[in-house]
Amino acid sequence: MNTPHRKVVTELPHKIDEALTSLYGDGHSRDTIIYCDDEPCIAKLMTEVLSLLFNKNVLAYPSAVHALKAISIKESLRSKIALIVSDYDMPEKTGFSFANELRRNPELKDVPFLLTSGNVGLAQNCQLLESLETGSIDGFMPKPTRMSEIPDVTISAINVRIKKLTTIN
């Protein structure tokens, strides 16, 4: 017997793949999600959730600096990244700085970027709005994140990136 929850989970990878195909084109081989969070328990949980929901490889890094280093060293990884999800508040580099740095990389500038945070004050809220307007980030998920909200926020972020790219071109 299929429960409604099982049906949703089995349909999600297809919906994500449709959105990614709209962004990257038919035959894309982008099968990896980068997840950055300095809280090990959250990183482990979100890695498992994202992998389950989207049927993608999820690579977790404890900071933006670690993720950027891995991306710069592993040339083959850059062409496989479908999505980046990052916490805002991390040591050495914030999620905003991470997003801005990625937008300067020609191979990664079109990858959807979702920011997460449980600590959004007035200053961060202003920065969040500015980053959404300028295109450095494509969506925001508050922490704690409800598993049921992740697919819609992710698909929305992919669609925002598509819209930004079609507006530019």
Ordered by where they begin, the domains of the chain are: 4-168 (3.40.50.2300)
Which stretch of 3-7, 71-75, 100-104, 124-128 has the lowest confidence by average pLDDT?
A: 3-7
More confident residue, 17 or 65: 65
**Can you tell me the mean pLDDT for 136-160?**
89
Flag whether the pTM goes above 0.95: no
pLDDT given at position 123: 55
CA neighbor of 115 nearest in space, from 142, 133, 134, 80: 142
C-alpha to C-alpha distance for 101 and 108, rounded to whole angstroms: 9
C-alpha to C-alpha distance for 30 and 111, rounded to whole angstroms: 10
Q: Model confidence over 89-147: pLDDT tens digits?
A: 888 999 989 999 999 999 999 999 999 988 765 556 666 677 777 778 899 998 888 88
Q: Model confidence over 8-61: pLDDT tens digits?
A: 455 667 788 889 899 998 778 899 999 999 999 999 999 999 999 888 999 999
Pairing of strands 113-117, 139-142: parallel
